Amino acid sequence: MSRANLDKDPDEIAAMFDGVAKRYDLVNDLLSLGRTRAWRKVTTATIAPAPGMKILDLAAGTGSSSQPLAAAGADVIPADFSEGMLAAGRAARPNLPFTKADALNLPFAAATFDVVTFSYGLRNTTDIDKALREALRVTKPGGRLVIAEFSHPLWRPFRTIYSNYLMKALPAIARRTSSNPDAYIYLAESIRAWPNQEELAKRITRAGWSQVGWRNLTGGVVAVHRAIKA
């Protein structure tokens, strides 16, 4: 897969992530210039995990986003549709209950979770709006949605520099560090094609969520959106 579009093939996407699973966390740290840890801390603080809280972490990959939630005492289920990611996660974090799940057809009962969260994976679903509705279905009334996702820098000159970095420097770094550099070209393109902060907020609202807002990180390189199920 070389082009990001709205007609993503789920089997191709899963296979792509299977191929980069073993070094995914390391390459992500390199590609983000080390900012992933800081972004994760903000996302975790937004979720505010606590003992007894039930959290569904969708597109959890190897569980790097799930581990701090579990460490805070929350009952977290890391879910992903990539067998490769799940295998890498189970090897790295055997304490977590990794579960294979399709974000468009979740294998959980309605009103199960206090929080549903996505970390840099919502854009890889084949139907963003359906994924948001499924997340709403399995969330308890009064529960929350938290989405951490690459977004659009606010300052135009920086936005231009960032876009050039995504399409030029990022693939070059990936070719030196990843077994599947084409996957990172796809990821760069998917980031550029992603809705901006306000547009994503509107789609979250249309999916049935309320009180939608967001916080920009690193000048808008990443945005953490949040919402509540009324």
- As given in the structure block, the two tokens for residue 16 are 């792509």
Q: What stretches of 48-167 show up as alpha helix (H) in DSSP? A: 67-71, 83-92, 128-138, 156-164
Q: How far is CA 89 from CA 51, 66, 94, 144, 212, in A?
A: 22, 10, 7, 25, 31
Per-residue pLDDT of the chain (230 residues; tens, 9 = 90+): 344 443 456 666 666 665 555 666 665 665 566 688 899 999 999 999 999 999 999 999 899 999 999 999 999 999 999 888 899 999 999 999 999 999 999 999 999 999 999 998 898 898 999 999 999 999 999 999 999 998 988 888 877 887 777 667 767 776 776 666 677 677 777 878 899 999 999 999 999 999 999 999 999 989 999 999 99
Give the residue from 119, 142, 122 showing the smallest Cα distance to 62.
119
Q: What pLDDT score does 93 carry?
A: 96
C-alpha 168/C-alpha 154 separation (Å) is 20
C-alpha 229/C-alpha 131 separation (Å) is 15
- Evaluated on CA atoms 98, 102, 104, 106, the torsion sign reads negative
Q: What pLDDT score does 3 carry?
A: 43
The tens digit of pLDDT for each residue in 17-51 reads: 655 556 666 656 655 666 888 999 999 999 999 99
Q: What pLDDT score does 165 carry?
A: 72
| DSSP-derived 3-state class of residue 44 | helix
Q: Look up the pTM and report it.
A: 0.84
- As given in the structure block, the two tokens for residue 75 are 């009952």
C-alpha 205/C-alpha 224 separation (Å) is 15
C-alpha 34/C-alpha 95 separation (Å) is 26
Give the residue from 115, 126, 21, 124 showing the smallest Cα distance to 64.
21
CB 118 within 8 A of CB 80: no
